[in-house]
């Protein structure tokens, strides 16, 4: 066994950091960049994405940051469930609505929330 194999085997795996707002932004525009800049390297496309990200307003960036935070909270709370339901009002619509709820499915009181959950946008998913 080589030294590199030994070190990999003995290496303690660490958890990956949660994706941030830019990560979700890049996932969203990655295919557009491939189409618009087919001859650029992935590194150059990443640089272009970074420049576009820096050109966004704070309110535009906050949409992606909020999505990243919601995603992180959902991953940290496995008791929340994701259910997909078809939009029955529009025939032929192949898009689906994603509803996220817990067993109780009620809007939590602010005092019941942990510091991490207080940033989660419950109004986005729960309508009283």
pLDDT digits 0-9 by tens, 7-27: 555 555 566 777 888 998 999
pLDDT at 90: 58
Same domain, yes or no: 24 and 71: yes
What end-to-end distance do the CA atoms of the chain give, in Å?
Answer: 61
**Within a domain: residue 102?**
yes
CATH number at residue 44: 1.10.30.10
In angstroms, the CA 81 to CA 101 distance is: 6
In angstroms, the CA 30 to CA 44 distance is: 12
**Within a domain: residue 41?**
yes
In angstroms, the CA 68 to CA 22 distance is: 9
Question: Can you tell me the mean pLDDT for 64-93?
Answer: 69
- Which tens digit of pLDDT belongs to each residue from 29-77? 999 999 999 999 999 999 999 999 999 999 999 888 888 888 888 888 7
Range of the domain at 85: 79-128
**Within a domain: residue 1?**
no
pTM of the predicted model, to two decimals? 0.51
């Amino acid at each position: 066994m080589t030294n590199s194999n030994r070190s990999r085997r003995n290496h303690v795996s660490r958890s990956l950091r949660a994706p941030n707002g830019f990560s979700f932004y890049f996932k969203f525009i990655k295919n557009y960049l491939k189409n618009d800049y087919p001859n650029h390297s992935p590194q150059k496309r990443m640089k272009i994405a970074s420049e576009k990200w820096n050109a966004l307003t704070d309110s535009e960036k906050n949409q992606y940051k909020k999505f990243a935070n919601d995603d992180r909270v959902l991953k940290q709370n496995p008791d929340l469930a994701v259910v997909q339901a078809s939009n029955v009002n529009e025939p032929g619509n192949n898009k689906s609505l994603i509803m996220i709820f817990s067993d109780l499915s009620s809007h939590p009181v602010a005092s019941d929330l942990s510091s991490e959950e207080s940033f989660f946008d419950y109004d986005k998913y729960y309508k009283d």
